[in-house]
Chains A and B, each alone.
Chain A
Amino acid sequence: MRQTEPVIFELSRPGRSARSQQPAAAQVNIPESLKRRQPPRLPEVSELQAVRHYTRLSQLNFSIDTNFYPLGSCTMKYNPKVCNSLAMLPEFLARHPLAPESTGQGFLSCMYELQGMLEAVTGMKAVSLTPMAGAQGEFAGVAMIRAYHRARGDLQRDEIIVPEAAHGTNPATATMCGMKVREIPCGEDGDVDVAALEAALGPRTAGIMLTNPSTLGVFERRIRDIAAKVHAAGGLLYYDGANLNAILGKVRPGDMGFDVIHMNLHKTFSTPHGGGGPGSGAVGVSERLRPFLPVPVVGRDGGRYRWLDERDLPQTIGRLSGFMGNAGVLLRAYVYMRILGREGMREVAEYSTLNANYLLARLRAIGYEPAYPGRRASHEFIITLQRQAREQGVTAMDFAKRLLDHGYHAPTTYFPLLVPECLLIEPTETEAREELDGFIAAMASLLEEASREPEKLKGAPWTTPVRRLDDVRAARQLDLTWQASPAA
């Protein structure tokens, strides 16, 4: 399959258009000094040309609907079609965000119940749905921690502790909140180095950000102890919910001692990733952070749903979006949770863990090296290709690219950075055994190739629409927008 599709501007011809999409011409008066002089250079194509162009482009992608996508930390599970179709009912799509609450009781009831269900699965006391992705949920969480300390007059707490294996959004968020980042190491077994944590805790500690199971694919066993130590030092605990899939219906972050959590609804609750977004990073809090929740939040006054805003929550950290966040994503998550129900939640954790441990056992049996051999996999696990890199000169990147030739999306590579030449593998609960077996067979053939014909890996991929791309050139000779005659 070697396809390329011209850039849409190359299909453009002056005077061509999708006529049936245009309203009738209207005469308007605009002051001369405010008028646009040259029409914007947008493509001029027919409707069929546009449809064919974007349909063809879509066919150049891997996606969950077409390929197994074992991308660690991203929870690429099936996105049920019905979640999309029901969130796109015409009444929901047509509703203006500022329309009176009286015309949105159906929508608001879904949001109110969603808040309640998210509280129940996380063991938190209150939820705000407004953050628009995990990273914005993190921002909300750290901003609430900051507001909490300030409200108590505890102004010196300006440090956020993060394990070195943490996702990049954790330290980036701490900085955005005006905090200083203190990184602490992980031990040999993947758990947090408690001695290093104790050394880092002090009167400047605002809080700690943890993922559990961690980004290393293992459950942090001493979490209660860690929580006690952080609380004793006056800090609060933030739970990065990217890995909630692993424990849904089994264990709740609230019971572990966390004060605030974000959930990636686009992971655990199966809303689509859309080639980069949108997501939703709803946040849940313990009682002491409730006053600081970002607004708006849905409340209920005797049978009627309404928005709670700055008047109801005067200590709120404020607004993070123009309206209420990614409402359509939230509707999809709501539908998904209603379909799963109480029983289905637990099955998510159970079968995603079963699939991960099965993959780990089989990959290990054929010669792959787990990064944490003494540990149980959670819903994901890490293998390291350090030996292959040293002995055969093939890297994790080469393995990843070669998998594409087999029709499998690559696992997450080079994250966490802590483990050299790593692949972080997350099969999710919706994959059937045959799919996992096919992946294992492909991984076996890669090991073969690494020792017999390493060039097959180093030159991969061979069958995708393009071969490996020159990203050094991309960064040195920036070509970020189409020009009529692009610089050669």
Chain B
Amino acid sequence: MSYIPHTEEDVRLMLETIGADSIEALFDEIPPELKIKELSGIPPALGEMEVARMMHERAARDGRPLNFIGAGAYEHHIPAPVWAITTRGEIYSAYTPYQAEASQGTLQVIYEYQSMMAALTGMEVSNASLYDGASGLAEACLMAVRAHRRSSSSRILIPRTVNPTYRSCVEAIAGTQGLQFVDLPYVRESGRIDLTALDALAGDDVTALVLQQPNFFGQLEDVDALVNWAHERGALVIAVVNPTSLALLKPPGEWGSRGVDIACGEGQPLGVPLSSGGPYFGFLTTRSQHVRQMPGRIVGRTVDLEGRPGFTLTLQAREQHIRRGKATSNICTNQGLLMTAATIYMSLLGPTGLERVAAACMERTGQLVEALTRVPGVRPAFTGARFHEAVLQMDRPVGPVLEGLAARGIVGGLDLSRSHPELGHALLTCATETRTAEDIEHYAASLAEVLRSVQAA
């Protein structure tokens, strides 16, 4: 059942105008041997009613377990206006704003977004979004190599405290251009980058250092010292940050004595639902001096023929539709709709609201750690300051414990045994402002129950 408006009369008239006998005749330039007789493998058409019923059933099968995972995607309250406005047809069904006069709404939203992201990260300029946080970091690494002309090694330091999936993604996307990625270890007690390991790198040419704050474990890195170390040896610094945390934590633009060079991250916490992993959006901000090395679209404010202010895409000579093989990136379609949602979210929360969200997340995670570590066999893996995630250690494999929790309607966290086997039986868990004290108690009680039934190691 397609959305075709044509009546038989329309088809007849149109074919007559074209001078063709049948619709099939319009495909006469396609070699006949290529045409398929029948399409197999596609089920028959359904009406909206049948599809709706089927999808409701599938959604119901998944249910709504109580969620305690973060690891790069965070459950937050999303104000009702965010998606009510974002899904308006005028936003939802518009194309990329290449025709500026017909797209002032989209363009102004992007300009406001750029302003907000620059403010939040303490940087000077922002692009109009990338696909997501992980691929955005790959773009940031490629950008650093372009921006840092004096560095010849294309060597990027990626600490083991950076989200391991981000690292895989960076290797897949930026590795094809000959970038080298070097590990930095962390301190077992604190879950933070081992500053003493930096000495071993003395003398090596380094293009950029990647710093995630809060890091993958939720711990807070000593960013000032790390940024100064990198800058003293002529390397650039790429910050990977959680936007919610920036309402409380020092923005990357102020780390060390002169701030980082590029800041990027996952924009999902700003009003985007978890939705199985996407669509989210990546943000990327930088210093004015590097603006021409940025990937992705950028909007500028200018004036029209009559001198009135208006908005347009600018610096397009960086992009694939003009620079082709020499573009700063191949990105074309980005994540505009999610960026719009984030802009509305930030307007509704404002500086106070976002700070309260960040503080509530931190507080709840503290309560969660306290509650769960009261359960015998569970203890915190690290000491020191953290934001809204924590690693807990258990006395037995985490996988079966998580399955036991899932059976009780709780998604308890992420098993780190594959990505960080050195931590033993480790669980990364998170509570945001959406988790109540009762939720947390319920998790702790259920965990105790599950541990009683799952074998200790």
Q: A95 and B274 in contact (CB under 8 A), knowing A17-B350, A50-B347, A471-B312?
A: yes
* Interface hub of B56, B274, B325, B337 (most chain A Cβ within 10 A): B325
- A431 interfacial by beta-carbon distance below 8 Å: yes
Whether B62 and A107, one on each chain, are in contact in the complex, defined by CB atoms closer than 8 angstroms, is yes
Whether B279 and A328, one on each chain, are in contact in the complex, defined by CB atoms closer than 8 angstroms, is yes
> B217-229 toward A: CB 8 Å interface, digit per residue (1/0)?
0001001100000
> B318-362 toward A: CB 8 Å interface, digit per residue (1/0)?
011111111101111111111110011011111111111101101
- A303 interfacial by beta-carbon distance below 8 Å: no
Whether A323 and B351, one on each chain, are in contact in the complex, defined by CB atoms closer than 8 angstroms, is no
- A302 interfacial by beta-carbon distance below 8 Å: no
> A252-291 toward B: CB 8 Å interface, digit per residue (1/0)?
1001100000001010000011111111000000000000
Instruction: Give the distance to chain A from B156, nearest Cβ to Cβ, in Å.
Output: 16
Whether A344 and B105, one on each chain, are in contact in the complex, defined by CB atoms closer than 8 angstroms, is no
Q: In whole angstroms, how far apart are the Cα atoms of A432 and B14 in the complex?
A: 11
Whether A21 and B353, one on each chain, are in contact in the complex, defined by CB atoms closer than 8 angstroms, is yes
- B456 interfacial by beta-carbon distance below 8 Å: no
> B238-279 toward A: CB 8 Å interface, digit per residue (1/0)?
000000001111110010000000000010000001111111
> A1-33 toward B: CB 8 Å interface, digit per residue (1/0)?
000110111000000111001111111111101
Whether A40 and B354, one on each chain, are in contact in the complex, defined by CB atoms closer than 8 angstroms, is yes
Whether B273 and A93, one on each chain, are in contact in the complex, defined by CB atoms closer than 8 angstroms, is yes
Q: In whole angstroms, how far apart are the Cα atoms of A43 and B81 in the complex?
A: 16
Q: In whole angstroms, how far apart are the Cα atoms of A461 and B224 in the complex?
A: 52
Q: In whole angstroms, how far apart are the Cα atoms of A328 and B278 in the complex?
A: 6
Say which one of A127-135, A383-391, A445-453 lies at the interface with B. Answer: A127-135
Q: A99 and B67 in contact (CB under 8 A), knowing A58-B91, A107-B62, A143-B176?
A: yes
Whether A66 and B77, one on each chain, are in contact in the complex, defined by CB atoms closer than 8 angstroms, is no
Whether B51 and A275, one on each chain, are in contact in the complex, defined by CB atoms closer than 8 angstroms, is no
Whether B116 and A42, one on each chain, are in contact in the complex, defined by CB atoms closer than 8 angstroms, is yes
Whether A329 and B27, one on each chain, are in contact in the complex, defined by CB atoms closer than 8 angstroms, is no
- A321 interfacial by beta-carbon distance below 8 Å: yes
Residues of A within 8 A of B421 (CB): none
Whether A357 and B1, one on each chain, are in contact in the complex, defined by CB atoms closer than 8 angstroms, is no
Interchain residue pairs A-B with the least CB separation, the first 8 = A341-B45, A276-B336, A323-B277, A65-B89, A120-B41, A274-B337, A318-B172, A97-B277
Whether A63 and B94, one on each chain, are in contact in the complex, defined by CB atoms closer than 8 angstroms, is yes
Say which one of B182-190, B294-302, B370-378, B444-452 lies at the interface with A. Answer: B294-302
Say which one of A79-87, A192-200, A230-238 lies at the interface with B. Answer: A79-87
> A56-85 toward B: CB 8 Å interface, digit per residue (1/0)?
011111111111010100101111101010
Q: Which of A23, A58, A431 contacts B5 (CB 8 A)?
A: A431
- Nearest chain-A residue to B62 (Cβ)? A106
Q: In whole angstroms, how far apart are the Cα atoms of A322 and B134 in the complex?
A: 5
- B151 interfacial by beta-carbon distance below 8 Å: no
- Which residues of chain B from 281 to 299 have any CB-CB distance to chain A below 8 Å in the complex? 281, 288, 291, 297-299
Q: In whole angstroms, how far apart are the Cα atoms of A177 and B31 in the complex?
A: 33
Instruction: Show 8 residue pairs from A and B whose CB-CB distance is below 8 angstroms, ordered by the A residue.
Output: A93-B275, A103-B65, A343-B2, A354-B26, A415-B321, A469-B312, A470-B302, A471-B314
Residues of A within 8 A of B111 (CB): 7, 480-482
Q: Which of A106, A361, A410 contacts B99 (CB 8 A)?
A: A410
Residues of A within 8 A of B355 (CB): 39
Whether B42 and A84, one on each chain, are in contact in the complex, defined by CB atoms closer than 8 angstroms, is no
Q: In whole angstroms, how far apart are the Cα atoms of A456 and B63 in the complex?
A: 59
Q: In whole angstroms, how far apart are the Cα atoms of A79 and B87 in the complex?
A: 11
Q: Which of B96, B266, B406 contacts A100 (CB 8 A)?
A: B406
* Interface hub of A24, A121, A132, A432 (most chain B Cβ within 10 A): A132
- Which residues of chain B from 388 to 420 have any CB-CB distance to chain A below 8 Å in the complex? 402-403, 406-407, 411, 414
> B408-437 toward A: CB 8 Å interface, digit per residue (1/0)?
000100100000000000000000010000
Q: A79 and B26 in contact (CB under 8 A), knowing A93-B273, A277-B333?
A: no
> A454-488 toward B: CB 8 Å interface, digit per residue (1/0)?
00000101001111111101110111111000100
Instruction: Give the distance to chain B from A11, nearest Cβ to Cβ, in Å.
Output: 9
Residues of A within 8 A of B129 (CB): 276-277
- B232 interfacial by beta-carbon distance below 8 Å: no
- A300 interfacial by beta-carbon distance below 8 Å: no
Whether B249 and A30, one on each chain, are in contact in the complex, defined by CB atoms closer than 8 angstroms, is yes
Q: In whole angstroms, how far apart are the Cα atoms of A317 and B180 in the complex?
A: 17
Q: In whole angstroms, how far apart are the Cα atoms of A344 and B51 in the complex?
A: 15
Whether A176 and B330, one on each chain, are in contact in the complex, defined by CB atoms closer than 8 angstroms, is yes
- B166 interfacial by beta-carbon distance below 8 Å: yes
- Nearest chain-A residue to B432 (Cβ)? A23
Residues of A within 8 A of B135 (CB): 132, 136, 320-322
- A51 interfacial by beta-carbon distance below 8 Å: yes
